[in-house]
């Protein structure tokens, strides 16, 4: 009975809370973090509506490798009831993402938790297709186009791209990197999950 009650509480509390953005910064170039080798831009986009939900940045020690992909390391606990996903920049000292995944309930995004937003640009960038964008799975592996996961298709990714490429912080980071933009579909509710709870999490490494 307590287990059923717990799941009911989780399901009831699964609505997304509206994001209250921090005051916008005046210049996207000022989102650099001093004293680090590289910065990762992390952006959040709603799965169903493709609405932009803001960005944050994380500083990391760059590996300076010649790969065209961000070096992700993943720790995944499958949601038998309660699971989670952690994404790191190459090693566990650089956490980029951490979220609960709950079967017949709804998990929470534990890191990052604070997102801000700048006014969007008036024009988007052209969709780059296979050469500049990839999809991350729960192992940290990165898949190129075409995607065929059942939950993500190329049209969805074009919509995500349309949203993020209008943002000044994305345009700035994208101009400063030769690595692919990485997209992860975060599904905190599974089993009887509600796609309205899901988000695309986008990672861009500034390597210049």
Tokens of 104: 């017949």
Nearest to 44 by CA among 163, 139, 190: 163
pLDDT tens, position by position, 25-77: 333 333 443 444 578 999 999 999 999 999 999 988 876 667 889 999 999 99
How far apart, in whole angstroms, are the C-alpha atoms of residue 2 and residue 119? 46
| Coil, helix or strand at residue 51 | coil
Q: Is 69 domain-assigned? A: yes
Tell me which of 103 and 84 has the higher pLDDT.
84
Q: Is 33 domain-assigned? A: no
How far apart, in whole angstroms, are the C-alpha atoms of residue 11 and residue 42? 27
Q: Is 49 domain-assigned? A: yes
Q: Is 24 domain-assigned? A: no
Is-contact 97 146, C-beta < 8 A? no
Q: Is 50 domain-assigned? A: yes
pLDDT tens, position by position, 132-144: 899 998 899 888 7
pLDDT tens, position by position, 163-201: 999 999 999 999 999 899 999 999 998 877 788 999 999
Q: What is the pTM of this model?
A: 0.80
Return the pLDDT at 13.
Answer: 40
Q: Is 32 domain-assigned? A: no
Return the pLDDT at 61.
Answer: 80
Q: Is the pLDDT of residue 16 over 60?
A: no
Q: Is the pLDDT of residue 2 over 90?
A: no
Q: Is the pLDDT of residue 10 over 80?
A: no
Q: Is 80 domain-assigned? A: yes
Q: Is 183 domain-assigned? A: yes
Q: Which structural domain range is residue 188 located in?
A: 2-17+38-206
Please give the tally of structural domains in the chain: 1
């Amino acid at each position: 009975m307590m287990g059923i009650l717990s799941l009911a509480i989780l399901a009831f509390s699964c609505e997304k809370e509206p994001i209250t953005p921090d005051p916008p910064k005046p210049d996207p170039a000022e989102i650099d973090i001093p004293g680090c080798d590289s910065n990762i831009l992390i952006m959040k986009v709603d799965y169903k509506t493709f609405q932009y939900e803001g960005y944050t940045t994380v500083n990391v020690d760059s590996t300076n490798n010649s790969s065209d992909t961000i070096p992700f390391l993943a720790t995944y606990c499958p949601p038998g009831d309660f699971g989670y996903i952690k994404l790191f920049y190459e090693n566990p000292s650089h956490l980029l993402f951490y979220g609960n995944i709950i079967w017949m309930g709804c998990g929470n995004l534990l890191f990052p938790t604070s997102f801000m937003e700048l006014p969007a640009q008036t024009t988007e960038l052209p969709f780059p297709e296979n050469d500049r964008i990839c999809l991350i799975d729960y192992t940290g592996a990165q898949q190129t186009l075409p995607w065929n996961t059942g939950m993500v298709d190329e049209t969805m990714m074009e919509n995500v791209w349309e949203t993020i490429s209008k943002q000044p912080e994305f345009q700035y980071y994208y101009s400063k990197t030769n690595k692919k933009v990485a997209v992860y579909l975060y599904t905190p509710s599974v089993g009887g999950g509600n796609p309205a709870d899901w988000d695309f999490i986008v990672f861009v490494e500034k390597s210049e």
